[in-house]
């Protein structure tokens, strides 16, 4: 059923926006489209800060940026209005919104619940909505979204810790499911122990996999083994450890966003092993091809996931009590959070307490 947009006037909203490539955010009054017959309006309670928010705010990825830009695609909030044809939600439900808020719903990608790969995917921010308006993200007091692009948040899952799962959790869960790297007893390597990596460890252990954290930081060994429950820890610059790890892993999830060689990772894979790249590296990685050919090994990329995977992921997280490790911050701390995130100075995700700290009395 097509969404009929309302004839009501646009809905006033308030948030924090980047005005230019400095990436500095400041209070911003704007308008959302009115709630259509398949839409829900969500009062935003929490919004996680993704490293991608920093890249977009500073225009570091070379994409067209619609300034002013309100970032945020790890959104959890309360449904406060529903359209006349909404079936999935009722007033008072808790909903989540991730990186996309729309797609064509008709193409081969959408028919497979790969809405994130649809050529007409609508990004939750810095995109164009169904009515042509600019989309604004979750660093704001409310959002209007088609019900099919929101997920039902399970009861009992702490909302602040669940918010980052809508991007970070989905980013690691989706390739694990799609590429079959979720079987009990498989050996999975996880490169990097940051916002993505620490959640990947939690999901992998919930799948009853053997997990090796691969890092450049010796100081993360205790965290990986003692607190997150990884089975082993490997320093990527230790030649003896690399030698011992050769041909031992069924798959590797690479969350690293900095420049690095893929050669030692490929060597760790068993024959027909899979290396999945999920880190948003600005610098292209070094790619050796002979080890791929000789070992029938696979390198693949993955970004976020579709709506079915999103709901499955959050249900799985609730079943296994998985949340992100977070630092909750007020909205007016967001610029400092961006600075700290650029230096990897957080364990492991910032989450904005939007409902309690967004001061709507600010004037532009």
**Domain limits, the chain:** 11-165+325-357, 168-301
Identify whether the C-beta of residue 179 lies closer than 8 Å to the C-beta of residue 251. yes
Determine the pLDDT at residue 173.
Answer: 98
**Which range has the worst mean pLDDT, 2-11, 99-108, 147-156, 241-250?**
2-11
* 5 pLDDT more than 60: no
Q: What is the mean pLDDT of residues 190-217?
A: 97
The yes or no reply on domain 11-165+325-357 and CATH 3.40.30.10 is no
What's the Cα-to-Cα distance from 350 to each of 112, 120, 135, 323, 324, rounded to whole Å? 32, 30, 22, 13, 10
Instruction: Residue 364: count other Cβ atoms within 10 Å of its Cβ.
Output: 11
Q: Phi first, then psi: what are they for 165, rounded to 5°?
A: -65, -25
- The mean pLDDT of the chain is 93
Identify whether the C-beta of residue 6 lies closer than 8 Å to the C-beta of residue 34. yes
Name beta bridge partners: 213. Answer: 190, 233
* Nearest C-alpha neighbor of 323 from the set 143, 112, 156: 156
**Which range has the worst mean pLDDT, 5-9, 11-15, 57-61, 307-311?**
5-9
Identify whether the C-beta of residue 140 lies closer than 8 Å to the C-beta of residue 15. yes
* 28 pLDDT more than 90: yes
Determine the pLDDT at residue 1.
Answer: 44
Q: Structure pTM?
A: 0.92
Q: Phi first, then psi: what are they for 157, rounded to 5°?
A: -85, 120
Residue 34 to residue 44: CA distance in whole angstroms: 16
Determine the pLDDT at residue 8.
Answer: 60
Residue 152 to residue 146: CA distance in whole angstroms: 13
Quickly name the fold that domain 168-301 has. Rossmann fold (3.40.50)
């Amino acid at each position: 059923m097509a969404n009929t947009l309302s004839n009501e006037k646009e809905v006033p909203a308030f948030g924090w926006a980047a005005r230019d490539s400095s990436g500095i955010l400041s209070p911003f009054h704007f308008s959302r489209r009115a709630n259509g017959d398949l839409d829900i309006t969500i009062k935003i309670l929490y919004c996680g800060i993704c490293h991608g928010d920093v890249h977009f705010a500073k225009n570091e990825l070379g994409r067209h940026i619609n300034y002013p830009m309100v970032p945020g695609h790890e959104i959890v909030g309360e449904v406060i209005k529903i359209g006349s044809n909404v079936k999935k939600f009722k007033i008072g439900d808790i909903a989540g919104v991730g990186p996309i808020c729309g797609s064509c719903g008709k193409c081969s990608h959408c028919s497979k619940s790969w809405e994130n790969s649809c050529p007409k995917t609508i990004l939750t921010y810095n995109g164009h909505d169904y009515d042509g308006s600019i989309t604004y993200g979750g660093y704001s007091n409310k959002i209007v979204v088609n019900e099919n692009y929101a997920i039902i948040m399970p009861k009992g899952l702490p909302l602040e810790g669940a918010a980052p799962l809508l991007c970070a959790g989905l980013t690691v869960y989706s390739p694990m499911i799609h590429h079959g790297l979720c079987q009990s007893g498989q050996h999975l390597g996880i490169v990097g122990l940051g916002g993505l990596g620490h959640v990947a460890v939690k999901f992998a252990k919930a799948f009853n996999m053997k997990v090796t954290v691969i890092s450049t930081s010796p100081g993360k060994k205790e965290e990986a083994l003692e607190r997150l429950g990884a089975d082993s820890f490997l320093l990527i610059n230790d030649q003896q450890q690399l030698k011992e790890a050769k041909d031992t892993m069924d798959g590797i999830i690479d969350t690293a966003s900095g420049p690095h060689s893929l050669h030692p990772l490929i060597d760790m894979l068993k024959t027909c092993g899979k290396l999945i790249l999920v880190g948003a590296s600005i610098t292209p990685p070094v790619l050796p091809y002979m080890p791929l050919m000789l070992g029938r090994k696979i390198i693949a990329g993955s970004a976020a996931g579709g709506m079915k995977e999103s709901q499955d992921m959050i249900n799985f997280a609730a079943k296994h009590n998985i949340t992100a490790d977070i630092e909750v911050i007020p909205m007016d701390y967001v610029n400092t959070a961006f600075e700290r995130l650029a230096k990897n100075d957080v364990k492991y995700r910032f989450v904005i307490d939007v409902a309690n700290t967004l001061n709507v009395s600010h004037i532009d």
